[in-house]
Amino acid sequence: MTDSARSDRADGALSVSWIGHSTVTLDLDGVRILTDPLVKRHNGPLRRRYPMPHPRLYRDPDAVLISHLHHDHAELPSLRMFPGVPLLSAPLNAAWLRRRGLAGVDLGEEWHPIADGPVSVRAAPAVHGHRPMPHRPNAVNSHLVRGSRWTVWAVGDTELFDAMSDIPEMLGRPLDLVLVPIAGWGPRLSGGHLDPVQAAEACVRTGAARALAVHWGTLHPPIIHRPTDPWIDRPHPEFVRALERLAPDCELIDLRPGESATIS
């Protein structure tokens, strides 16, 4: 996407770019939002399968959404590439980010306007209590994004929970697009995550019109697993089949890292 293409998103369309793992760029109403950014070549000991997408796909965001502080969602070297950009997260997480010189912003259930425009963000529930960290806060939330026309639910990490069905009510409108995690970064999925069938069930519960599958196929442990191991790609076709069976009216936005789609 060129810079001029980004400005064209003031035309009422929504552009979405998948950078990999849970990192997604949303361009709508002239505003750019980036979720859980991993924009370095690798993530600590985890290896990225693909080359990094071009920086034009994620540079100069107006806001960054941080769902929680696990290292594959809140990587400090990546976050420091966006000095002064508001990092919207739960209050405990935002305070931790501020202590590290970053622009952490407390996000609650009130709508937070982005760049004084028509786009606003608020926190929504998520359930992701497994593998608590001793050295970082363990608060977790998902994010709701609402523009002049489009609504998005950036899930982050979660398991299924009853209040998922309340997401459209929290938005005040139907849900246009869900950024739904369908796997992890290893061959075994720990608790607090959605597997491909559960991810399709999340689309059912929220009545999402469209779904972009994230949190799959990007990162792998370096020594005991190769980027060609079958577990890395298996979640996506499983999710596609489950979505067709459980939520046939939900349109799949089918992207690979570095690819973009425009919804109009």
Q: How far is CA 17 from the centre of its chain?
A: 11
* Segment holding 262, helix H or strand E: strand 259-263
> Whole-number mean pLDDT of the chain?
92
The closest alpha carbon to 175, from 157, 198, 152, belongs to 152
Mean pLDDT of the region 177-183: 97
CATH class for the domain made up of 3-263 = alpha beta
Phi, psi of 63 (to 5 degrees): -160, 150
Percent of the chain with pLDDT over 90: 79
CB 183 within 8 A of CB 192: no
Mean pLDDT of the region 165-181: 98
185-220 pLDDT, tens digit each: 877 787 789 999 999 999 999 999 999 999 999 998
At residue 3, the pLDDT reads 45
Q: In angstroms, rounded to a whole number, what is the distance separating the alpha carbons of residues 119 and 62?
A: 10
At residue 224, the pLDDT reads 62
At residue 258, the pLDDT reads 95
At residue 2, the pLDDT reads 40
The closest alpha carbon to 37, from 4, 97, 90, 82, belongs to 82
pLDDT over 50 (residue 1): no
**What is the domain partition of the chain in residue ranges?**
3-263
Helix axis angle for 196-206 and 235-246, nearest 10°, is 40
Name the 3-class secondary structure at 168.
helix
Q: How far is CA 136 from the centre of its chain?
A: 20
CB 221 within 8 A of CB 187: no
Q: Which two tokens stand for residue 158?
A: 């979660």
At residue 169, the pLDDT reads 98
Lowest mean pLDDT across 11-20, 129-138, 176-185, 247-256: 129-138
Q: Spell out the SS3 assignment of 14-68.
A: EEEEEEECCEEEEEECCEEEEECCCCCCCECCEEECCCCCCHHHCCCCCEEECCC
* Segment holding 236, helix H or strand E: helix 235-246
The closest alpha carbon to 255, from 12, 3, 21, belongs to 21
At residue 221, the pLDDT reads 85
Q: In angstroms, rounded to a whole number, what is the distance separating the alpha carbons of residues 104 and 247?
A: 36
Name the 3-class secondary structure at 249.
coil
